[in-house]
Amino acid sequence: MTTIDFDLDVAEVEQRLLARWPETRIAPSLERIRAVTDALGRPQHGYRSIHITGTNGKTSTARMVEAILLELGSSVGRFTSPHLADIRERISIGGRPISPDGFLRAYRDVAPAAEAVDRESPTPLSFFEMTVAMAYRAFSTAGIDVAAVEVGMGGMWDATNVIDAPVAAILPIGLDHVDQLGPTRLDIAAEKAGIIKPGALAVTARQTPEVEQLLRAHADAHLARLLVAGRDFGLGGRRASGAGQIISVNGLAGHYPEVPLSLHGRHQAHNAVLAVASVEALLEEAIPLDVLRRALGSARSPGRLEVLPGTTAVILDAAHNPDGARALAAGLSDLGPRPTVAVLAAMGDKDLAGMLAALEPVVTTMICTRNSSPRSLSSRETAAAARAVLGADRVVEVGDLADALVEATAAASTLSTEAQVLVTGSVVTVGEARRLLGL
């Protein structure tokens, strides 16, 4: 007999999900998620999908894929993780977070099957596996045409990988989650290559020669095609603008000049190129230029080089590894040289020294704090690492994120009328900062 309580609200369901294994803890198997989706009638096979992996840029790319498909008139679902403020952000239908009623319905549909799997398996379904199953069910219930699905971690054993995506999109592969995925880029690439399905078309960002060779070998072994940025498609040019940038894209099926992109930074231009190629691969045709211009000109990716105008500009960026921090630093340069007071709170399992080294050239003052996650480094630990890179005179320690934001605004106002505040270090940090800032 089921013990599912159907008289729940979103907050109560979230707490039940959080009581499961966290998404940072994985057991490498698709058996549990497959058992649940099988019990639900394999909802993930009722629509086409674009499956997106890589080290950084997955959420932004998924959002741009979604924006293009919506502008084309498709019914679209998007699954991304983690969320900034509201768990419903992870499951988007029609360009909006799933409604509270839709979220609750998805949980009620999935929970009995999950409980049955929990009874039979030595490892219970994790938080992440549950949200994936809920997303796939919700997409099926909504009758979507296409899903843009972001991998949570890796690819091969990621719970999202029970989809049979005809298109795989692979962003640049760097070093992150090394405890789970392996210590080298090749180890990590081998995991991420697992989303390339037999007969699929894979589009990849430019990778190191060794990583590209590994991806190509995997694609060949599965009779899939691999198309590579810079060779088969690519960025034709870009220039920064006040609202983001103007890019030209040499796609798989068309050339798209003078496309406005409402996101900042060269890395977002390359993410846009991969999004365009992914949609072209799915459609097997070019995208009308006016459609692409409208879609990318209105695309949004909160917490990713997000600029909040005001008396003192605030920039929010969820960079949480050295590659992400380097892209952030380059993006700040794109916005113009300004004194920058950074608020940094990072997780204890990240390469903090590498992040600090990347940010050092573009930061005037670093305010080190912590976020609410139990995985967060303390402000003391973060400040000690920052002093080793930036020097003691550029580092301030503040124990609470809310106080750190106040301190940063005050410090920026004393530097220059052009000074800006940067908040970075993790998705959790940026999400909490957005709430504190009233967003």
d(CA 426, CA 376): 9
User: 396 - beta bridge partners?
Assistant: 367
d(CA 139, CA 93): 7
**Which has more pLDDT, 79 or 155?**
79
Assign 123 a pLDDT band (cuts: 50, 70, 90): confident
Residue with tokens 């909504």: 142
Domain boundaries, the chain: 10-297, 306-436
- pLDDT single digits (tens) 324-338: 999 999 999 888 889
Assign 388 a pLDDT band (cuts: 50, 70, 90): very high
Asked if 46 contacts 140 with a C-beta cutoff of 8 angstroms, the reply is yes
d(CA 347, CA 408): 20
306-436 adopts what CATH topology? Protein-Tyrosine Phosphatase; Chain A (3.90.190)
DSSP summary character for residue 233: B
Q: Look at residue 227 and tell me whether its pLDDT is greater than 80.
A: yes
- pLDDT single digits (tens) 72-89: 999 999 999 999 999 999
Q: Look at residue 390 and tell me whether its pLDDT is greater than 50.
A: yes
- pLDDT single digits (tens) 300-319: 999 999 999 888 999 999 99
> What's residue 1's pLDDT?
35
Residue 61 one-letter amino acid? T
The reply to whether domains 10-297 and 306-436 share a CATH topology is no
Least confident interval from 265-269, 309-313, 384-388, 410-414 = 309-313
Task: Name the CATH superfamily for 10-297.
Answer: Mur-like, catalytic domain (3.40.1190.10)
> What's residue 83's pLDDT?
93
Residue 11 one-letter amino acid? A
* pTM (two decimals): 0.93
d(CA 324, CA 190): 21
Asked if 268 contacts 235 with a C-beta cutoff of 8 angstroms, the reply is no
Residue 406 one-letter amino acid? V
Q: Look at residue 24 and tell me whether its pLDDT is greater than 70.
A: no
Q: Look at residue 178 and tell me whether its pLDDT is greater than 80.
A: no
> What's residue 438's pLDDT?
87
DSSP H helices in 199-351: 209-221, 266-283, 289-297, 322-335
- pLDDT single digits (tens) 181-224: 666 888 889 999 999 999 999 999 999 999 999 999 999 999 99
Q: What is the percentage of the chain residues whose pLDDT exceeds 90? A: 85
> What's residue 206's pLDDT?
94
